[in-house]
Amino acid sequence: MHIENSKPTFEIEDGKRFHIPGAVLHGKCPKCKSDVKIDFSDDYLSYPDTNTPFAFSCYCRECSHEWKVTMQLNVELVLVDEKAAKR
Ligand SMILES: [Zn+2]
| Among the listed residues 56, 58, 57, 45, the one whose alpha carbon sits nearest the alpha carbon of residue 11 | 45
Domain range list for the chain = 24-85
How remote is the CA of residue 37 from the centroid of ligand 1, in Å?
12
How remote is the CA of residue 64 from the centroid of ligand 1, in Å?
6
* pTM (global) more than 0.85: no
How remote is the CA of residue 35 from the centroid of ligand 1, in Å?
8
Q: What is the pLDDT of residue 50?
A: 94
Question: 19: which DSSP letter?
Answer: -
One-letter amino acid of 24: V
Tell me the pLDDT tens digit for each residue of 24-79.
999 999 999 999 999 999 999 999 999 999 999 999 999 999 999 999 999 999 99
Residues near ligand 1 ion, CB 5 Å cutoff:
29, 31-32, 34, 60, 62-63, 65
CA separation for the pair 34, 27 (Å, rounded): 8
pLDDT score of 82 more than 90: no
How remote is the CA of residue 55 from the centroid of ligand 1, in Å?
19
